[in-house]
Amino acid sequence: MKRIPILGPTIEHGDDNDDIRNYYYYWRNNNSSLKSPFFSLFKSFKEKELLKDLDEGALRLYLYFGFVADNDHGHSWHSIETISKYFGKQTRTIDHWIKKLVDAGLIYRTKDKKKSHTTFMIPYTDTIIVQKPVKKHLEDAQPLLDDVLEKLKNLEGLYGKIIRVHHIFSWGTSKKTKRVSESADITNFLFIITQRPNDILVGHVLHLRKSLDKGISQLHIDDVAVFDSPYEFNGTSIQGIAVTHTQRILQKENISTLMTFMRDLSQADEDSFLQHAKVIYGEISPVLETEDQQTEPEENEDEGGG
């Protein structure tokens, strides 16, 4: 009598491997087309050794929170009793698993006025997010920054401590010529970096959308220049950094550049900023007038060749 292959059938012919790969490929695409609920588990979960270090119970609970969480924002309201019933465990066991996940920096819990805690799944790698002030501000000035700093300090348990605050500026680039252009959208934002106890960094981008008349005293810089920002952190003027126009650091496709920039800034000392040329931040009209006087008008360039 033929033995039952306990470990499953083995495909011996290499040509059939395409069918095996396609089986998974079509299953994934089918679920995507059906908009089946899912949550993201990136490979960094293994690389950061969370897969290795979490005990079995905490890991199972993490998967549970992932499967019941809101797809976009990662939160859920399942009570301890509901979770313990699902796993067939005592509530104190679930409490122990939750503590493991909180200590690992994988979830954040709040209660507010709700009967049950809200459980938020939080990032386990560095992240860039856009911040908005709590109050409405009619101009870009110190109260705008103070507003967001206060919010971040109140959320220190989530984002970690504020370790750096910088002012970032870059001229826009013409889509046609790919050169610096005063008419293109500039990049002008405050960059607040927080660090969690597990060393995970969060870069908070606070756009200065009402500062269209502000900029640096040069249209062209080689790589990086520095300037004194009018904004303060802990009573001291924050370090301004002007980035060359070729680095469109806020564009989606350049997120890795901004991530690297954030990590470098988190470790930079004051002497490192002295190695760069210094420019002045202020009204841009004098800069543009000077540039117009020094630059001859360019001939129109055709976008196509031929």
Domains delineated in the chain: 44-121 (1.10.10.10), 127-294 (no CATH)
Model-level pTM greater than 0.75?
A: yes
Mean pLDDT on 153-158: 95
How many whole angstroms separate alpha carbon 110 and alpha carbon 180?
47
The per-residue pLDDT for 298 is 46
Per residue in 92-136, pLDDT tens?
A: 999 999 999 999 999 999 987 667 789 999 999 999 999 999 999
Mean pLDDT on 214-241: 91
The per-residue pLDDT for 53 is 95
Per residue in 248-260, pLDDT tens?
A: 777 776 788 899 9
Q: Which of 103-112, 161-170, 217-226 has the lowest mean pLDDT?
A: 217-226
